């Protein structure tokens, strides 16, 4: 941010002289004048070679420690400190799974948020740290052809409620957990099949393959095949 300065010689400055002092990576090289708010500013040289002007108050309270290079390095370090993420430009698949899991549970701007965070689904506190999630994943069968799945579709992301599944298995589970409302009761397709004593595949076929309405799919008797002897 550009600072508008009022030129003022150090001879007329009554505050502390910071020339020669070092704050983080910044070395004060000369007095730069005062801002329009009468705050003393100083010209500083960063260890990386860049020169910036900043307020003396920021130098003293530690909020200005470099030209900006330190903040960039720390951000990069946060992404790669554990050596497991693959770095910012090419994050590993396991890291993307973790990042996307957190995002859909906590970021309202994420398209899938309404189906996760919007429904109250959260990520357990232990998994907010990537290393913890990574260690669980490696100990519980993670492979690059698997995806994370919640056992209870209404439960949170946590070790007790998650497993690794193929995309086909997860798609099947999503269909099984599709909510069906009938006579004032709302249950998953899998739960309705269990209540009716019907195979899930039979109920699913009636609704999705044959196009029956829910009342017919639930109430139509199951035709039993009769074995004929010779």
The residues with which 28 forms a beta bridge, in sequence order, are 44
Segment 38-45 long-range contacts (CB within 8 Å, at least 24 positions apart):
40/13, 40/15, 41/3, 41/5, 42/18
What's the count of helices (H) and strands (E) in the chain, helices before strands? Answer: 8, 9
**Digit-coded pLDDT (tens) for 10-60:** 666 778 899 999 999 999 999 988 887 788 899 999 999 999 999 998 999
Residue 215 falls within a domain, yes or no?
Answer: no
Question: 190 versus 168: which is more confidently predicted?
Answer: 190
Q: How far apart are CA 30 and CA 18, in angstroms?
A: 8
DSSP one-letter code for 2: -
pLDDT band at 170 (very low <50, low <70, confident <90, very high): low
Residue 53 falls within a domain, yes or no?
Answer: yes
Residue 62 falls within a domain, yes or no?
Answer: yes
DSSP one-letter code for 44: E
Listing DSSP states for 177-190 in one string gives T-EEEETTEEEEHH
The pTM is what?
0.44
Nearest to 24 by CA among 78, 73, 60, 74: 60
Residue 28 falls within a domain, yes or no?
Answer: yes
| Domain with 35 in it | 5-71
pLDDT at 1: 44
Residue 221 falls within a domain, yes or no?
Answer: no
Name the domain count of the chain. 1
């Amino acid at each position: 941010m550009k600072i508008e300065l009022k030129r003022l010689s150090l001879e007329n400055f009554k505050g502390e002289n910071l020339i020669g002092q070092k704050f983080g990576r910044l070395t004060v090289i000369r007095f730069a004048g005062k801002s329009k708010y009468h705050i003393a500013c100083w010209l500083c040289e960063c260890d990386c070679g860049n020169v910036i002007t900043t307020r003396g108050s920021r130098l003293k309270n530690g909020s200005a420690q470099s030209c900006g290079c330190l903040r960039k390095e720390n951000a990069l370090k946060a992404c790669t400190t554990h050596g497991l993420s693959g770095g910012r430009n090419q994050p590993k698949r396991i890291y993307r799974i973790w990042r996307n899991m957190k995002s859909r549970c906590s970021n309202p701007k994420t398209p899938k948020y309404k189906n996760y965070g919007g429904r109250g689904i959260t990520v357990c506190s232990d998994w907010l740290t990537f290393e913890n999630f990574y260690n669980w994943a490696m100990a519980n069968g993670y492979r690059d052809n698997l995806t994370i799945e919640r056992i209870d579709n209404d439960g949170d992301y946590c070790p007790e409620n998650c497993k690794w599944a193929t995309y086909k298995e997860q798609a099947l589970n999503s269909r099984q957990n599709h909510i069906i409302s009938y006579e004032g009761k709302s249950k998953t397709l899998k739960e309705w099949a269990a209540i009716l004593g019907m195979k899930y595949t039979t109920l699913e076929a009636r609704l999705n393959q044959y196009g029956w309405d829910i009342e017919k799919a639930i109430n139509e008797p199951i035709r039993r095949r009769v074995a004929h002897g010779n």
